[in-house]
Amino acid sequence: MEEERKVLIGDKLPEIKAKTTHGEINLPEDYKGKWLILFSHPADFTPVCTTEFVAFQKRYDDFKKLNTELVGLSIDQVFSHIKWVEWIEENLDTEIEFPIIADDTGNISKKLGFIHPNKGTDTVRAVLIVDPQSTVRAILYYPQELGRNMDEFLRMIEAFQVGAKNKAAMPANWPNNELIKDRVIVPPASNVKDAKKRKEEYECYDWWLCHKEAEK
C-alpha cells in the first residue's frame, strides 16, 4: 500500500475537521486571511511541553499583532487537554487562550507528517507556518528533548510579511544580520542588462548580492 504523501512547503494546508478545547474547528477555512502556526507536542502533562505552552501563551498578543493565530495538537484526548490547561492556569498562573486539537486517532498527525515512526507513536514537536492564503510557508521539526524558541517563530512571521511587502528576500538573523543589519535582499538579476544596472540602483557587494532599506 502506497504511503500517503506528507504536507510540504508550498502545499495548501489540507482540509481538516478537528475537535479542540474550543470546540470543533475547520482547517484551513476558519483561519483564512490570517497567518497560522499549527504545532504539535508529544504529550500533555510533560515538562518540556508545559514550558512550551506557557511560552507560546506569553507571546500570544505579539502573535496576534502580526495577524497570527496559534493552534496546538497532540494525540491526547480532549479531556486530557482540558485538564492540562486547567492545571497550567491553576499552578502556573497562565491561561491558555488558543485551541488544542485532540487527535486521539492520530489520523490528522499522520496526514500532516507529525508522527515519525523512528521516534515512537507520539507526535514530534512539529510546526507548520501557514499564510493567509492557506499555503504552507515553513515546516520545522524538533526532537522530544528540545523545546522550541517562540521568538524565532515571531521573527519568521514578521520576516515573511516584510519580505512580501518589499518583494525581497530576508538575510540570516534578520533584523540583525551581520552584513546588512535590518535591510532586505534584492532578488538577483535574471538577465545581463539588469545585472549591469544593479550596482547603480542598489547598494551591492556584487550584482547578485544587493540590498535596500525595508519598508515595514
> Could you tell me if 90 and 143 lie in one domain?
yes
Greatest CA separation found in the chain? 65
Question: Within a domain: residue 155?
Answer: no
> Could you tell me if 39 and 136 lie in one domain?
yes
Question: Within a domain: residue 60?
Answer: yes
Residue keyed to cell 499555503: 135
Q: How many domains does one find in the chain?
A: 2
> Could you tell me if 119 and 188 lie in one domain?
no
Q: Name the residue range of residue 68's domain.
A: 16-148
Question: Within a domain: residue 137?
Answer: yes
**Euclidean distance between CA atoms 194 and 138, whole angstroms:** 30
- How many CA atoms, within 13 angstroms, populate the side-chain half-sphere of residue 203? 9
The C-alpha cell at 152 is 524565532
Q: Give the Cβ contact number of residue 188 at 10 Å.
A: 14
Per-residue pLDDT of the chain (216 residues), as tens digits, is 345 668 999 999 999 999 999 999 999 999 999 999 999 999 999 999 999 999 999 999 999 999 999 999 999 999 999 999 999 999 999 999 999 999 999 999 999 999 888 887 789 999 999 999 999 999 999 998 999 999 999 999 999 999 999 999 999 999 999 999 999 999 989 999 999 999 999 999 999 999 999 998
**The CATH number of the domain where 117 resides is what?**
3.40.30.10
Let me know if 210 is a catalytic residue.
Answer: no
Marked catalytic residue, from 49, 102, 108, 170:
49
Question: Within a domain: residue 4?
Answer: no
> Could you tell me if 142 and 103 lie in one domain?
yes
CB 47 within 8 A of CB 138: no
> Could you tell me if 22 and 122 lie in one domain?
yes
